[in-house]
Structure 1
Amino acid sequence: MPELRARWAALAAGIDAATPAGRDRAVDALRALAILGVVLGHWLVTSLTAADGGLRVTSPLVQLPWLAPVSWVFQTLAVFFLVGGRVAVVGYASARERGVSYGAWVGQRLGRLFRPVAAVLVLWTVVAGGMLLGGAGVDTVRTLVKLVLSPLWFLVVFAVLTAATPVVARLSPLWPAAVVAGVDLWRFGAGGPECIGWVNVAAGWLVPFALGAAWARGSLAGRGRLWLLVGAGAAATASLVLWGGYPASMVGVPGAAVSNLNPPTLAAVAFGLAQCGLALLVRDRLARLMARPSAWAKVALLNLSAMTVFLWHQTAMMAVTASGLLVSADLPGLHTVPDSVGWVAARMAWLPVFAAALGLCWAAFRVHEQTRRPRPVPVTTARRVPGGPTREITHA
């Protein structure tokens, strides 16, 4: 153990020394926390139970609705879009300064985003075909493939918003928030068609993305504004849940009439605004924490393979679940119905096993997230962000 600690300390010191002084480490920390929140949230509220010789998806939130606050902690996509909006606007401003065309910039951004996706699609095409040829039920295969593919919607939305950065750079988050409110009013208040709700897939996530653009412009300076954002978002969320008929859970619950996430509702947007405000409030503390080499090294290493972790975490969970069937079809917290506190305790015990399986996936597939040539290291310089004053920003 002392030898391992010494090796880690040396690695952490090397990563710390190689990091440019102008790097905004708090931004990387927020991105890492957002990814970990999504991963842990999925592992905690997604359950595969053995039924009729196959597997079906359920959630402890169905049987244990009092666990809804868990979704308030681990539904962190709004923070990811907040950071994404800031990084996109700053990166695009830097590209323009260096004479890089919009096409070249967006191509590089989307390439980094989608390159790791190909490995997931290829592997699961082979796995699904093999399962069907081996006699697995169509419903079971569909269940597993859906779990793998369902997180990919987020990448599509994120890619569209990233491509729209030149427009979003000047957009107030109030406009897409108003669209979400109008869609919900039509959908829930005026009996509009359910399909209209899918407008909110773009509008809902555009709110934190545009908020990140405002952050890049310097429009969110001052703790007073951030506390107002937290307070207003929290009050709106509580009002919508208590008196507006919105679900308390900020993630989808199988069988529920309304989901706050699929598509996003006004309650999810309000909650996301409060979450983003809180994230910005703790940014200074995160910056101080990231000054410690050991803490920064962990965040830096996670960010290097963030998409690999995101894309393969469901596969890791399913691999453990399927492997468990070789031992028993009734392992607590793995195959059993999530209807008790005992199940929650057992699932917590499985999290390190899921993490170990994810580590194997990371080792095998992180190469697909690496570029073929060294990427420029982000540095901080004084540049002008579209729509804002000249200020120090970090760019790639």
Structure 2
Amino acid sequence: MTARPGAPMLVPMSTMIEAAPAPAPGRRPSAADLAARTPRDRDRYVDLLRVFSLATVVAGHWLMAVLATGPDGRVRAGNALAIMPSLQPLTWLLQVMPLFFFVGGFSHATALRRAPSYASFVRGRAARLLIPTAVFAGVWSSVAVLIELAGRDGGVLRLVTRMVAQPLWFIGVYLGVVAFAPLMWRMHRAHGVAVPVALGAGVVAVDVLRFRYGVDAIAPLNLLLVWLAVHQLGFFYADGRLGRRTVRALTAGGVTAMLALIAYGPYPLSMVGMPGAKISNMSPPTLALFAHGLWLIGLAMLLRGPVTRLLARPRVWIAVIAANGLAMTAFLWHLTALFLVCAVQLALGLTQPPVGDATWWLLRPAWIGILVLVTAGLVAVFRRADRPRRLAPRSYGTARGVTGMVLCLIGVLGLSTVGFGGALAGRSATLIALPVTPLRSLALLVAGAALLGLWTRDGAETRKADATTLG
């Protein structure tokens, strides 16, 4: 399928090397270097949406998180939006994960057009996710084991070692989408708009069976259907087939459907999970979240023109490039920063003001500022794991690629479900119907990455990658 005239060109970040001479040998290019060599036909808006979606999720977690000491002296985690339900409509703006999967569809269309095989595609896409994730998991698994050996696996440390792994659900689900992307790309080229329509119909069917007939076991299927559906729309963006009329229909139809589902259906107001709520729109995703994703994507496309003009300014574009180089590392470690700051606060005996009062609101900018500084320190330490690298050439079959992706998927989602703590005590949890433990999940992640060949890289090619790319 050929793109229509005016379609966004599919230019990956790693090709920002043609408009200016390469940096001196041994020096990695700066964001300014890459900005100066950006091809004119690059769709800069995609890069901005990627950074914006991750940054919004991070900021949302920081704003919503509440750590408080109860009457019994135990530290508990809470959610500010559960304490202030009137603010839950803010989640319609803070829940931007559909944008990340949408942008993923655009990027995967680029990669699939030049990928020689299934294994080659999944190796390349998985490496950028799994190498920094493996470092994060390895560090936190070691810390959790040391805590357990010291006999301190209780109280706030128990809470931290469980909760810090929760953002890994996103990495796991995205890996699943990557694994299905080649198949979905072929279906897109063969059947076009019928594919997202069929996926959307599947979402409706799952929710009808779940909420009308009580078939709760089918609900996890929407983890695949919802995220594949919004990912599929990214293929249409890559083809230049999301015109003004289409995105207006997505925006109007999506917001109307979301509001109707909340008003007349079983769906909660919040687009993120709330403590104690019987139903979450997010885990697993519901039809309401799918409708939310449609209007959010439509709105993003309506804003593309004016924002793209803003991105033509050199300073703005340099900032976007720099942010892209550290966004995944910041996402992985942002809850670590949150718990470090909370630990210092508790150690100093400082108490948070009641959520929602004037002092709490006045302290929010300072709170975010402190968390940004701590996260920046963690990024400085662990960012190297997130640098682009060229994997050593390998000829892997589809079966090996699929097996490696499945093992990585179960390992990452397993860690997200069970956390890092309690490994030596044999702590377990259930991932859908599969029992998982911290050590077993970590082993599956390492084994899957080994099958994909992510631990082997060509030294010369890696040095070349480090010399010509940023983030």
Q: Which one-letter code corresponds to 1:190 in the other structure?
A: Y
How far off its partner does 1:339 sit? 5.2
Cα distance in 2 for residues equivalent to 1:322 and 1:113: 29
Q: Residue 205 of structure 1 is aligned with which of 223, 227, 247?
A: 227
Cα distance in 1 for residues equivalent to 2:208 and 2:359: 40
For the pair 1:238 / 2:254, whether they are aligned, the reply is no
How far off its partner does 1:66 sit? 0.6
SS at match of 2:182: helix
Counterpart for residue 60 of structure 2:
41
Kept in 2, the 8 Å contact 1:43–1:351? The answer is: yes
For the pair 1:23 / 2:42, whether they are aligned, the reply is yes
Alignment of 1:217-366 (within 5 A): 217-220=239-242, 222-332=243-353, 338=355, 340=357, 342-366=359-383
Q: Which one-letter code corresponds to 1:116 in the other structure?
A: P
How far off its partner does 1:134 sit? 4.0
Kept in 2, the 8 Å contact 1:168–1:213? The answer is: no
Cα distance in 2 for residues equivalent to 1:141 and 1:310: 21
Counterpart for residue 8 of structure 1:
none
Cα distance in 1 for residues equivalent to 2:467 and 2:271: 36
Counterpart for residue 198 of structure 2:
175
Gaps of 5+ in 2: 1-29, 189-194, 390-461
Change (3 A) 1:178 1:77: same
Q: Which one-letter code corresponds to 2:90 in the other structure?
A: V
Kept in 2, the 8 Å contact 1:50–1:329? The answer is: no
How far off its partner does 1:133 sit? 3.8
For the pair 1:147 / 2:169, whether they are aligned, the reply is no
Cα distance in 1 for residues equivalent to 2:208 and 2:249: 25
For the pair 1:127 / 2:149, whether they are aligned, the reply is no
Gaps of 5+ in 1: 1-10, 379-396
Counterpart for residue 97 of structure 2:
77
Q: Which one-letter code corresponds to 2:57 in the other structure?
A: V
SS at match of 1:173: helix
Kept in 1, the 8 Å contact 2:352–2:360? The answer is: no
Q: Which one-letter code corresponds to 1:347 in the other structure?
A: R
SS at match of 1:58: strand
Cα distance in 2 for residues equivalent to 1:313 and 1:189: 39
Cα distance in 2 for residues equivalent to 1:87 and 1:327: 46
How far off its partner does 1:139 sit? 5.3
Counterpart for residue 382 of structure 1:
none
Alignment of 1:51-200 (within 5 A): 51=70, 52-95=72-115, 100-138=116-154, 140-169=156-185, 170-171=187-188, 172-193=195-216, 195-200=217-222
Cα distance in 1 for residues equivalent to 2:197 and 2:171: 23
* Percentage of identical aligned residues: 37
What's the CA shift string for 1:189-225, capped at 9, x where partnerless? 11222x32111111111121011112223331x2111
Q: Which moved more, 1:171-180 or 1:184-193?
A: 171-180
Q: Which one-letter code corresponds to 1:353 in the other structure?
A: I
Pairwise CA RMSD of aligned residues?
2.2
Q: TM-score, normalised by structure 2?
A: 0.72
How far off its partner does 1:324 sit? 1.3
Kept in 1, the 8 Å contact 2:105–2:234? The answer is: yes
Kept in 2, the 8 Å contact 1:85–1:162? The answer is: no
Change (3 A) 1:123 1:55: farther
What's the CA shift string for 1:258-301, capped at 9, x where partnerless? 11111111101100110011111111222111111111111111
Q: Which one-letter code corresponds to 1:174 in the other structure?
A: V
SS at match of 1:224: helix
Q: Which moved more, 1:351-360 or 1:369-378?
A: 369-378
What's the CA shift string for 1:145-192, capped at 9, x where partnerless? 332211111111111211222221234222222111111111111122
Kept in 1, the 8 Å contact 2:80–2:355? The answer is: yes
How far off its partner does 1:93 sit? 0.5
SS at match of 1:164: helix
Kept in 2, the 8 Å contact 1:132–1:141? The answer is: no
Change (3 A) 1:287 1:249: same
How far off its partner does 1:248 sit? 0.8
Change (3 A) 1:266 1:341: farther
Q: Residue 369 of structure 1 is aligned with which of 378, 381, 386?
A: 386
How far off its partner does 1:113 sit? 1.1
SS at match of 1:67: helix
Change (3 A) 1:254 1:87: same
Q: Which moved more, 1:268-277 or 1:11-20?
A: 11-20
How far off its partner does 1:129 sit? 2.5
SS at match of 1:264: coil
Change (3 A) 1:144 1:270: same
For the pair 1:50 / 2:72, whether they are aligned, the reply is no
